Each structure stands twice: as C-alpha cells, then as structure tokens.
A and B are shown apart, each in its own frame.
Chain A
Amino acid sequence: MGNDVCVVIEHLRGQVSDISYVMLAAARGLAESSGGKVLAILLGHGAQDLAQDLLADEVLYADHPELTDFTPDAYEAVLVQLLGEKQPRAILLGHTSIGTDVAGTLSVRLKLPLVSSCRQITSDGKYVSQICGGKIMAEGELPVPASVVTMTPGGYKPEQGRGSARPEVTAIQPPPLTPMRTKLAKYIEPAGGDVDISKESLLIAVGRGIQNQDNISLAEELAKTLGGVVCGSRPVVDQAWLASSRLVGKSGKHVKPKIYLALGISGAPEHTEAISDSDVIIAVNTDPSAPIFDIARYGAEADILDVLPSLTEQIKQLRG
C-alpha cells in the first residue's frame, strides 16, 4: 500500500459539495504525515471544470456518460478499479447519501476496514468519530496499511480544502460501465407552494420533545405570535406531523436564520450540520447533556410543553 490519500469528490447537479472540500482539508494533514500526495478523484461527464478549486496535488478524472449523475454501481465500478491500482493509505468519502452508498461495498471489495462518521483525522493518523447522536466520540488508529473513511462536516472548514490554483488534472479510463444495476430515472424537485425555511429569519424548530401531532399547534401558535415559521427535525417529519418541506437536516434544508429556536431537539450531527450558519441558536430540552447545548448561545433545561404555552401567553400580554 502507498502513502497517498484519495478523496472521492462529491458533486450534485454541477456543484461540488462542501463535504468534498472538508475531506480535502482532512486529507492534507494525513498525506503530509505519511509522506504522500492528496489525490482528488472526480467522476463525471463533461465535469472537468469542477476540479478548478480543489486543493489537491492531482485530480484523477474519469469521464463517461454513465457518470453524468451519481449512481452507486457506476461509482463502485470505477473506484474499485482505480483504488485497487493506486493502493492509497486512505480513501475518504462523504458520510452522505452519496458517499455511504459506495463506502460499504468498496471496503468489502477492496478488503479494507471502514471507519464511519469520522469528524477529524489527526496528524498522527488517528480517526476521531462522533457517534451515538453526537453524544460520544470514539478514536483509534486509522487502520494500516489502508482504510476507507466516511467523513462528516464539523472538523474542518470547507475553505481549508479550496485552492486558488487549478490543480493538475489527469484523465483516467473508466472500466466498461454497462449494464449497470442501478440507474437514475429522474430527479424529483422539492414540493413547492410552501414557505422556504432556508430564507426565513426566525425559525421555531421542534423535535422529538414535542411528543405528538396535537402539540405542533403549540409551536404554530408561538410562531404566529412571535412572527416566525415552524420547522422540525427528522423524527417529526417522519411521523408526518410536519411537511417534508419543513425538514431541517442532512436530507432537508440547511438554514441560516437570525434566530433558531430549537425546542425538544437533541442536536444529532445530522441536524446540527444544517443549522450551524444560524446567527443565534436558543435551545430548550429536558436532557442537560443534549449536544444542542454545545452549539446554542442560550439554553434551558426544561420541558418545551411547559415553556411553550407560557412563552406564547407572555408575548401576547406584552403585545396587548
């Protein structure tokens, strides 16, 4: 196995995802300590321009019509061939709906261990992963001689992985890519007709602590009184208590309001990565160890079902 660190670049509909730059930043430290290079792997069709600001020593670019959009099968086929030849120290993929589709099968086919939910790779070659809904950090030696790693945001800023000079791009020949067992049929755009929570300045966000659908009205009443919009975390939307257009999180919207009032939300990494650009986060939760309190400016250890009615009532009185 070699010393290079390979980063599988994620892009969606013509845009490189921030996680790609995060991974390039993580790869730099490891490559320096192992004496290798950072190799960005870009798969696409007519997508060479996406390489222009990748902070990599070299970009390996595979161009094929079957790579126009992400499909697990096509990515797996190219990556198994390429990485089998390159034998890098580590292969970084996003801990995302793209990266995790490939990471497991890749690790099995290349017979390499897999480290998931990795937030940071230390200069002495340790992985640091955040698990258990953000409540536990686990660390250990990044397996040698090589391993597959899926990375989460939070440990590095995307700017650390952006370069000002266009990197050297080397074309690689993908293997035959037909027939594929997974094929993209179409994209389905998010449903319109609802408010765009990513543009709202005051969000009243509810999580599991809201307990049932009837209690959503408590949040709606506060939003109406205060002048905000109700949104929610994954469990609330999965229960169909709120429309999917109101989902904040990894699969939902990334928001950047002036105030994000997190009610009964624990603060799992899948949620917090989508609210980190908020100006002020205020959290109310019964669990004093909830990770949301580590990113909130203000917090209260309390039951939202007690606080919500009182808050709405006091605002009503204030407004006469």
Chain B
Amino acid sequence: MNIAVLAKLVPDLVEELTIDSAGAKLDLAFARYIINELDDHAIEQGILLKERFGGQVTVVVPEGDGADDVLFTAAAKGADRLLKLTGFSPDIGNTRALAQHCSEIIRELKPDLVLTGVQAHNDLDGSLGSLVAGLLELPYVGYVSGVAIQNGAASVRKEYPGGLIAEFDVTLPAVLGIQAAEQPPRYVAVSKVRQTMKTATIESMPASAGASAPLLTISRMYKPEAAQHATMLAGSPEEVAAQLIGIFKELGVL
C-alpha cells in the first residue's frame, strides 16, 4: 500500500490577518504559518494505514516557512519519503495551480492512495484533493473520517450532517479528502524531530513549467461587516462571570 499525502501550510488564524494596501490580497509579510490542520490528520491517517497494511508513506509539501518542519515531523511520525515542491507558493486563489503541480508528482509516484485534508481555510478556488482527482481522473471521496483496505479496495467512512456516516467502497487508486484521522494526530517530541533531521532527506521537486495562470480573480478583500456585534462585557474574569450570572437570571436560567 503506497500512500501519498499532500499537505500545505496556511496562515495561523490565531494571528491577526491584515489586508494589504491594494485591498485585494492578504499582507502576509509577518504571518505565521502552520500546517493545514486537516492535512495533519491526513498524514496521521496515512501512517495509520501503513502501520496496519504495510507500504510506504510519501509526504509532499510546497515550499515556504515551516515546510521543512512539517516534513521532518512527518518523518518522525513514520513517513518514509519527503518531497518539497519548489518554485511554487500556495496562496488564496491558486489551489488549482497547486493541484496541477501535485498531479505531476502523483503521476510519477503512482500511489495506491492519495490523502489530503478535505479543505483548507484559505481555499477559494476549490480544495486540493478533488482537483487532483479530477486532473488524474481518479475517484474522489471527501469528508472522510475512517479508511480500511479490503481486497485491494478502500472502504471509507464519509461524514454527513447530523452525525450520519456513509460507508463507501472505493476502487484504488483513489484520492480521499480527510476530515479527521481515526485517532488524533500523534505527538512527537521535538528531540525526535531533531534526530530525524539528521537522517531523513528532503527531496526537491521543482514545479513544472507552464502551469496555467490562475482562473480566478479577486478584486476586493475585506473583513466581514457584521450586521450586529455582541454587547461586550468588560472587567476582570470575576466581573465577567458576575455579569454572565446577571444575564442568566434575566433569561430565566437562574
């Protein structure tokens, strides 16, 4: 079972997002990047499948701040091969182009299964997994929270609203958009990652020339203009708690 996992870095939403002066893109000069959370789940699911069914896990990450850390951390968790897509930076509105570059890599790797997070918070022109599936003419199922391999096919659990799960049989090779791994992404100590950095190798994969220009244009970016805003409670935590009690009384809870 050879598995390829596509992961990317995204701006950390804990930090304040700033729109640049032209008003049509984010100013990311001081942004902190983290792995797309659902891609982290995809890596975990890939490693779980390797542990259960054997094979090799290859992780592909586009270059950028933190890309090496993501790759070495994946290796410390059990990934076998680390690939860095160079010459291309993911941004809002260029997921289609990223999908084209990733598709070229997947064509070379010929994995049985391609896993990636079902979406990233900055996807604007589609999610990576479904676009890669389209480009490679492979079956795709998203919102997956469980995968088993039986008789050369995948049995995947797909989430629907209300907690309903649909179990699908999927022929391989296939692309799956992971919503959640079957267990939380495992923790690896920094010391183990550092140790891995001494032995593991990151291979560079230059982005293919001639990828098409973005198909989507953004004319304006802004922060949501809310029709309303909460009445804010000020003060120390104790004072906030006291005001909450007042609200609960008003609402008849206390």
Residues of A within 8 A of B (CB): 12, 17, 69-73, 96-98, 100-109, 113-117, 126, 129-141, 143, 150, 181-191, 202, 226-227, 234-235, 237-240, 244-245, 247, 250-254, 258-259, 266, 268, 280, 282-284, 287, 289, 291, 293-303, 306-307, 310-311, 313-315, 318
Residues of B close to A183: CB separation below 8 A: 168-170
Taking A182-B139, A238-B180, A250-B161 as contacts, is the C-beta distance between A130 and B224 under 8 angstroms? yes
- Residues B200-217 near A (CB distance < 8 A): 215-217
Taking A12-B160, A187-B166 as contacts, is the C-beta distance between A101 and B11 under 8 angstroms? no
Task: Compute how far the CA of A273 lies from the CA of B224 in the bound complex, rounded to whole angstroms.
Answer: 16
**Which stretch from B46-54, B71-79, B123-131, B191-199 is at the chain A interface?**
B123-131
Task: Compute how far the CA of A245 lies from the CA of B164 in the bound complex, rounded to whole angstroms.
Answer: 10
Partner of A300 from B99, B232, B251 at Cβ < 8 Å: B232
A304 CB to nearest chain B CB (Å): 9
Residues of B within 8 A of A (CB): 11, 13-14, 16-17, 19, 26, 37, 41, 92-93, 96, 99, 118-119, 121-127, 129-131, 133-135, 139-143, 155, 157-171, 174, 177, 179-180, 183-184, 215-224, 226-234, 237-238, 240-245, 247-248, 251, 253-254
Residues of A close to B158: CB separation below 8 A: 97
Query: By the criterion CB–CB under 8 Å, are B13 and A311 in contact?
Result: no
Query: By the criterion CB–CB under 8 Å, are B233 and A104 in contact?
Result: no
Query: By the criterion CB–CB under 8 Å, are B131 and A108 in contact?
Result: yes
Given contacts A103-B130, A295-B228, 10 further A-B contacts (CB under 8 A): A71-B168, A100-B119, A116-B127, A137-B223, A189-B164, A237-B180, A289-B223, A298-B244, A311-B244, A314-B241
Task: Compute how far the CA of A97 lies from the CA of B157 in the bound complex, rounded to whole angstroms.
Answer: 12
Query: By the criterion CB–CB under 8 Å, are B17 and A135 in contact?
Result: yes
9 closest cross-chain pairs (CB), A and B: A104-B130, A108-B134, A299-B230, A190-B163, A294-B226, A113-B215, A306-B237, A105-B134, A97-B143
Partner of B248 from A98, A108, A226 at Cβ < 8 Å: A226
Partner of A307 from B177, B231, B240 at Cβ < 8 Å: B240
Residues of B close to A306: CB separation below 8 A: 237
Task: Compute how far the CA of A73 lies from the CA of B139 in the bound complex, rounded to whole angstroms.
Answer: 7
A71 CB to nearest chain B CB (Å): 7
Residues of A close to B243: CB separation below 8 A: 300
Query: By the criterion CB–CB under 8 Å, are A202 and B253 in contact?
Result: yes
Query: By the criterion CB–CB under 8 Å, are B237 and A310 in contact?
Result: yes
Question: Which residue of chain A has its CB nearest to the CB of B139?
Answer: A181
A129 CB to nearest chain B CB (Å): 6
Taking A72-B139, A227-B253 as contacts, is the C-beta distance between A109 and B241 under 8 angstroms? no
Task: Compute how far the CA of A143 lies from the CA of B135 in the bound complex, rounded to whole angstroms.
Answer: 20
18 contacts between A and B (CB under 8 A): A17-B161, A73-B139, A104-B127, A105-B140, A106-B134, A113-B96, A138-B93, A138-B220, A138-B221, A182-B139, A183-B168, A189-B164, A202-B253, A239-B184, A252-B163, A297-B230, A298-B232, A299-B233
Task: Compute how far the CA of A259 lies from the CA of B143 in the bound complex, rounded to whole angstroms.
Answer: 29
Residues of A close to B129: CB separation below 8 A: 104
Residues of A close to B228: CB separation below 8 A: 294-295
Task: Compute how far the CA of A190 lies from the CA of B163 in the bound complex, rounded to whole angstroms.
Answer: 5
A110 CB to nearest chain B CB (Å): 10
Task: Compute how far the CA of A97 lies from the CA of B171 in the bound complex, rounded to whole angstroms.
Answer: 19
Query: By the criterion CB–CB under 8 Å, are A303 and B230 in contact?
Result: no
Taking A182-B168, A296-B230 as contacts, is the C-beta distance between A139 and B218 under 8 angstroms? yes
Task: Compute how far the CA of A184 lies from the CA of B174 in the bound complex, rounded to whole angstroms.
Answer: 15
Task: Compute how far the CA of A297 lies from the CA of B227 in the bound complex, rounded to whole angstroms.
Answer: 12
Query: By the criterion CB–CB under 8 Å, are B163 and A253 in contact?
Result: yes
Task: Compute how far the CA of A116 lies from the CA of B248 in the bound complex, rounded to whole angstroms.
Answer: 39
Residues of B close to A141: CB separation below 8 A: 217, 219
Task: Compute how far the CA of A183 lies from the CA of B169 in the bound complex, rounded to whole angstroms.
Answer: 5
Taking A73-B139, A103-B126 as contacts, is the C-beta distance between A235 and B240 under 8 angstroms? no
Partner of B167 from A17, A103, A184, A303 at Cβ < 8 Å: A184
Residues of A close to B133: CB separation below 8 A: 104-105
Residues of B close to A140: CB separation below 8 A: 216-220
Residues of B close to A182: CB separation below 8 A: 139, 141, 168-171
Residues of B close to A239: CB separation below 8 A: 184
Query: By the criterion CB–CB under 8 Å, are B240 and A302 in contact?
Result: yes
Residues of B close to A238: CB separation below 8 A: 41, 180, 184
Partner of B162 from A138, A253, A315 at Cβ < 8 Å: A253
From B99, B119, B140, B141, residue with most partner A Cβ within 10 Å: B140
Residues of B close to A107: CB separation below 8 A: 96, 126, 131, 134
Question: Which residue of chain A has its CB nearest to the CB of B93?
Answer: A138
Query: By the criterion CB–CB under 8 Å, are A136 and B26 in contact?
Result: yes
Question: Which residue of chain A has its CB nearest to the CB of B15?
Answer: A287
Task: Compute how far the CA of A287 lies from the CA of B160 in the bound complex, rounded to whole angstroms.
Answer: 30
Query: By the criterion CB–CB under 8 Å, are A131 and B122 in contact?
Result: yes
Question: Which residue of chain B has its CB nearest to the CB of A112?
Answer: B215
Query: By the criterion CB–CB under 8 Å, are A251 and B96 in contact?
Result: no
Question: Which residue of chain A has its CB nearest to the CB of B41?
Answer: A238
Query: By the criterion CB–CB under 8 Å, are B240 and A284 in contact?
Result: yes
Residues of B close to A266: CB separation below 8 A: 13
A268 CB to nearest chain B CB (Å): 8
From B119, B122, B123, B167, residue with most partner A Cβ within 10 Å: B123
